[in-house]
Structure 1
Amino acid sequence: MSTSKHIFSGIIFQTLLLCALPFSGLVAATNLHAATGHTSHWGYSGATGPDEWDSLSKEYALCGSGKRQSPVDIWNETPSDLYPLQFQYQPIPLLVLNNGHTLQANYNTVGQEEKVTIGDKSYPVQRKPVYNSTLMLGDVPYKLLQFHFHTPSEHAHEGERYAMEVHLVHKSADGNLAVIGVLLKRGKANPTLKKVLDNVSGKINEVKFAQGVTINAADLLPADRQLFHYSGSLTTPPCSENVNWFVMKTPVEVSDAQVKQFARLIGENARPLQPMHWRSMLTSD
């Protein structure tokens, strides 16, 4: 068996380890930055900043003690026969949220109305979100839940952080996460980010439906799908270590004006770089 095949076997083993990890602390399906049943406030500076996250709640302990934390500096990569990712994204109406930590587009449609019958009367119940866009990781489907933005970029490449980064968050049926990270460099205006910025509500935690506006997460991806891969965590509390990270090698563009507009709304929202420890950083050929 070739060295690269051994490496890919290592990826499968790492994924199986992730599957065996407890899933405690994972937040609501469409909002990985939301509260997890408690009210501990966290932020990006001062007494609630990243250096203090683990002291704010026992549920945030991994933010300080974890050994598979994200983001990281990408360097010293090992070439590997990574299976190509299959993106099966569909355009959907724009649902955008300012949750106080980021701007987020929830990637779901509303299901058919359901009713519950009590006696001889029927009552409508809340419609469940439907997720129709999928990332295929090998033969395992991961549903696209949402995408959101950070400035500056959370991941670095050989010590360099970019202007922004977008995270496309996917979840498998067994509760594990696959996140696509796309680095954004200064250049032309980004059409998808423009739609988000143009339609976000001024109220924290209010989801806004942008009438007549559609988005396609595929528009956030570079044409070149070469990538880096490692096993890591959420970059926000509770810092759960059940994330398969795939960071695109090729950045896409964002305008300086868009970076500044995002920063005015949210501020800088990038966690400091975390140690790799014993982990491998793999790269597609």
Structure 2
Amino acid sequence: MRSVHSRLPLLLAPAALLVLAGCATDSASVVPAHDEGAVWSYDGASGPAHWGELADDDALCGTGVRQSPIDLPEADDGPELDLVGSGPVRGATADNGHTVQFTADDGASTTIDGDALDLVQMHFHAGSEHAVDGDRFAAEFHFVHADDRGALTVVGVLAERGAHNPAYDSYVAGATAGTGRESTVDVEAMLPDDRSFVTYDGSLTTPPCTEGVRWIVFEDPIELGADQLAALEAVHDHNARPVQPLGDRIVRDRL
């Protein structure tokens, strides 16, 4: 598959990724970079309630009708996601001012429902951005993928306080290093054992809040140790956008 790393700038969450977190030449085709110089934040006059007012390019944050995150329905244990990772992936981990982003080296991929997608980046939010039946979790990780047109699929993993999770050690170490460093991400190892999921059409969760992003969020959370959560929260805490109206969208348990 043709790599999109050279065509997609660093994401936040989506984007920024999730979060951080666009597609080819349509509304979801370009995901701008956001760094420490960006004017938006998670509180005050530059917080989520005002993102749509900060720049013309960010207007969708206030006017969009297919925005993310959302309050997801209670888990119903539907079919499990057919996902195959490419194994441990090397890349650079760096703080972009809003989260800590792991940017995968070229060639990293994940096969979802038979479609090979480029793994572009992953990042975290503390606490979670998505809620489940009104309840939010300690953290949420976004694995941002792109197809050969640049269309984004973000895989969301919710996290709760519990047992130490060695699959996240390399990323957490990179997040707390203070400067950019090499890290390793193994998508499959970082997912919950039960892979039942929900999916819906949404957006980046940070400015410019581009719509047309396919979200896949696992119903079961993973566990992270108290030390791992504390390490992440010491770097960024309360970096989560509030849930957005569902509108006429349908949350499904099948792709």
TM-score with structure 2 setting the length: 0.81
Q: Which whole-Å CA distance do the structure 2 matches of 1:230 and 1:261 have between them?
A: 31
- 1:25 to partner: Cα distance: 4.7
- 1:135 to partner: Cα distance: 2.9
Question: Bigger radius of gyration, 1 or 2?
Answer: 1
CA deviation string 1:229-252 (max 9, x = no partner): 100000111100021101001111
Q: Which whole-Å CA distance do the structure 1 matches of 2:64 and 2:190 have between them?
A: 30
Aligned amino acid, residue 132 of structure 1? A
* 1:69–1:274 CA contact under 8 A, matched in 2: yes
Q: Which whole-Å CA distance do the structure 1 matches of 2:189 and 2:92 have between them?
A: 16
Aligned residue number for residue 98 of structure 1: 95
Q: Which whole-Å CA distance do the structure 1 matches of 2:77 and 2:226 have between them?
A: 34
Q: Structure 2 vs 1, CA of residues 198 and 20 (structure 1 numbering), >3 Å: closer, same or farther?
A: closer
Of 182, 192, 197, which aligns to 1:209?
Answer: 182
Instruction: Give the 3-state SS of the residue equivalent to 1:270 in structure 2.
Output: coil
- 1:42 to partner: Cα distance: 0.9
Q: Structure 2 vs 1, CA of residues 198 and 266 (structure 1 numbering), >3 Å: closer, same or farther?
A: same
Q: Is the counterpart of residue 71 in structure 1 residue 69 in structure 2?
A: yes
Of 136, 149, 173, which aligns to 2:112?
Answer: 136
Of 82, 87, 108, which aligns to 1:85?
Answer: 82
Can you give the 5+ residue segments of structure 2 that lack an aligned partner in the other structure?
A: 1-22
Q: Sequence identity of aligned pairs in percent?
A: 37
* 1:232–1:244 CA contact under 8 A, matched in 2: yes
Q: Structure 2 vs 1, CA of residues 76 and 88 (structure 1 numbering), >3 Å: closer, same or farther?
A: closer
CA deviation string 1:179-223 (max 9, x = no partner): 1101101101222333223234424xxx3225xxx4312211112
Structure with the largest fraction of helix: 1
* 2:128–2:139 CA contact under 8 A, matched in 1: yes
Aligned amino acid, residue 70 of structure 1? S
Q: Is the counterpart of residue 261 in structure 1 residue 231 in structure 2?
A: yes
Aligned amino acid, residue 160 of structure 1? D
Q: Which whole-Å CA distance do the structure 2 matches of 1:183 and 1:98 have between them?
A: 21
Q: Which whole-Å CA distance do the structure 2 matches of 1:220 and 1:190 have between them?
A: 8
Q: Structure 2 vs 1, CA of residues 76 and 157 (structure 1 numbering), >3 Å: closer, same or farther?
A: closer
* 2:197–2:216 CA contact under 8 A, matched in 1: yes
Of 186, 189, 192, which aligns to 1:219?
Answer: 189
Of 18, 22, 31, which aligns to 1:26?
Answer: 31
- 1:276 to partner: Cα distance: 0.2
Q: Which whole-Å CA distance do the structure 2 matches of 1:53 and 1:92 have between them?
A: 33
Of 133, 139, 149, which aligns to 1:164?
Answer: 139
Q: Which whole-Å CA distance do the structure 1 matches of 2:117 and 2:123 have between them?
A: 17
Q: Which whole-Å CA distance do the structure 1 matches of 2:228 and 2:249 have between them?
A: 34
Of 223, 229, 239, which aligns to 2:209?
Answer: 239
Aligned amino acid, residue 47 of structure 1? A
* 2:75–2:219 CA contact under 8 A, matched in 1: no
Aligned amino acid, residue 49 of structure 2? D
Compute the RMSD of aligned alpha carbons: 2.6
* 2:80–2:197 CA contact under 8 A, matched in 1: no
Q: Structure 2 vs 1, CA of residues 189 and 49 (structure 1 numbering), >3 Å: closer, same or farther?
A: same
Q: Structure 2 vs 1, CA of residues 225 and 77 (structure 1 numbering), >3 Å: closer, same or farther?
A: closer
Aligned residue number for residue 196 of structure 1: 171
Q: Which whole-Å CA distance do the structure 2 matches of 1:217 and 1:83 have between them?
A: 16
Instruction: Give the 3-state SS of the residue equivalent to 2:253 in structure 1.
Output: strand
For these two proteins, the number of residue pairs brought into alignment is 232
